[in-house]
């Protein structure tokens, strides 16, 4: 039984506990920098200001939590894409592992070029050669077998420059940004030109992005019952290319609503940023990561085969997209 006096103390106790909690929470918010790897330059300010605008209930730009969709390109935006896309490195390694079962590859392009390390001959095989490489190394097995191949490869493969696993070559400032957006009620999606099945096995662990929030390119799959066991078999046929004008299509197909923030780094992201930011109406955020840091990572933009940033850089100046200068705006590129 609670006496009147005890009840009074009890109430005071509860009020005090609430006050202490509130004070502690306020302090924690004030003291924590959610983006410690970002310098206090314009891009960080633009990102924080946008998030505050869309999350404050009395703001003219307020967006309900369910509609806070943020989309991120992967190659060159969340992880390294030079000297070549990681997916291409995977395909080249796969050709080498499969070569003993394919003696004919010694005399057939583009495989011969891969086995001899002749990048000039490989480039000469053009898009046709590249598609053949991808199909040979990515199709002809079930989805679960492919997933295992990807996980095994990532466990042993090392980036040629940094000598680290590819999944460690993710940008620390972007990892912080993903977490910061999620802490503010955003749902974060990958929207990548890369193969969706190459990202899903590790995106949850590394980025905190679950498989259902990964949009990407894909090959066709076929449902098959094999000895009463249902499988999905990967066919050597393109299903969808999630790049350039394909990105808004992929976003609409899988997410079904327009993002309010988009992050990219190349011309492959141009239409995704347009689709996100140019619909009129309230505040929207478009961000381009500009690779300007030859010392800590790479410096490239208009003149590269992997992640060319040319038209989108011109568009940024007109549309007011935020351009992140990797060298000036990031305190740190990778986790130590």
Q: Is 256 in the site for its own copies (CB under 8 A)?
A: yes
Q: Which residues pair with 114 in a beta bridge?
A: none
CB 111 within 8 A of CB 102: yes
Q: List, as own/partner pairs, every contact residues 58-66 make where C-beta atoms lie below 8 angstroms and the sequence separation is at least 24, other chains included.
A: 60/282, 61/282, 61/283, 62/282, 63/260, 63/282, 65/185
Q: Is 45 in the site for its own copies (CB under 8 A)?
A: no
Give the DSSP H/E element, type plus range, for residue 193.
strand 187-195
Q: Draw the binding track, 267-286, toward its own copies (x: CB under 8 A; -: no contact).
A: ----x--xx--xxx------
Cα(189)–Cα(168) distance, integer angstroms: 19
CB 221 within 8 A of CB 245: no
Q: Which residues pair with 226 in a beta bridge?
A: 229
Q: Is 304 in the site for its own copies (CB under 8 A)?
A: no
Q: Draw the binding track, 125-164, toward its own copies (x: CB under 8 A; -: no contact).
A: ------------------x---------------------
In this structure, the strands spanning 69-72 and 187-195 are parallel
Q: Is 200 in the site for its own copies (CB under 8 A)?
A: yes
Q: Of the two residues 166 and 275, which places its CB atom closer to its own copies in the complex?
A: 275
Q: Draw the binding track, 208-247, toward its own copies (x: CB under 8 A; -: no contact).
A: --xxxxx---x--xxx-x--xxx-x------x-----xx-
Select from 109, 167, 254, 332 the one that contacts its own copies (CB under 8 A). Answer: 254
The span of 4-12, 34-42, 149-157, 167-175 binding its own copies (CB under 8 A) equals: 4-12
Q: Is 264 in the site for its own copies (CB under 8 A)?
A: no
Can you give the three-state secondary structure of 252-311, one letter per residue? HHHCCCCCCEEEECCHHHHHHHHHHHCCCCCCCEEEEEECECCCCCCECCCCCCCCCCCH
Contact positions toward its own copies, by CB under 8 A?
2, 6, 9-14, 16-17, 66, 69, 143, 187, 196-197, 200, 204, 210-214, 218, 221-223, 225, 228-230, 232, 239, 245-246, 248-249, 252-257, 271, 274-275, 278-280
């Amino acid at each position: 039984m609670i006496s009147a006096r005890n009840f009074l103390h009890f109430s005071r106790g509860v009020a005090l506990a609430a006050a202490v909690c509130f004070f502690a929470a306020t302090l924690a918010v004030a003291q924590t920098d959610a983006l410690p790897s970002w310098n206090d330059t314009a891009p960080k300010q633009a990102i924080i200001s946008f998030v505050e605008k869309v999350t404050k209930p009395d703001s003219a730009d307020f967006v309900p939590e369910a509609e806070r969709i943020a989309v991120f390109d992967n190659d060159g935006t969340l992880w390294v894409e030079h000297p070549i896309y990681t997916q291409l490195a995977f395909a080249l390694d796969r050709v080498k592992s499969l070569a003993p079962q394919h003696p004919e590859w010694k005399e057939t392009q583009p495989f011969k070029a891969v086995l001899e390390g002749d990048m000039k001959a490989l480039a000469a095989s053009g898009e046709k050669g590249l598609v053949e490489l991808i199909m040979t190394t990515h199709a002809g097995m079930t989805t679960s077998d492919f997933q295992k191949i990807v996980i095994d490869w990532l466990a042993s493969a090392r980036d040629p420059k940094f000598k680290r696993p590819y999944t460690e070559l993710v940008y620390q400032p972007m990892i912080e940004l993903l977490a910061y957006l999620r802490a503010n009620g955003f749902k974060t999606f990958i929207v990548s030109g890369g193969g969706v099945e190459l990202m899903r096995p590790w995106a949850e662990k590394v980025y905190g992005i679950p498989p259902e929030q990964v949009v990407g390119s894909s090959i066709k799959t076929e449902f098959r019952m094999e000895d009463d066991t249902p499988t999905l078999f990967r066919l050597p046929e393109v299903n969808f290319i999630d790049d350039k004008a394909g990105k808004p299509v992929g976003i609409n197909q899988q997410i079904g609503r327009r993002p309010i923030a988009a992050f990219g780094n190349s011309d492959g992201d141009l239409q995704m940023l347009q689709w996100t930011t140019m619909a009129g109406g309230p505040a929207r955020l478009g961000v381009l990561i500009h690779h300007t840091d030859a010392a800590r990572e790479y410096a490239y933009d208009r003149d590269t085969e992997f992640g060319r940033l040319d038209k989108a850089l011109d568009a940024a100046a007109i549309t007011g997209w935020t351009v992140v200068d990797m060298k000036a705006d990031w305190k740190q590129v990778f986790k130590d």
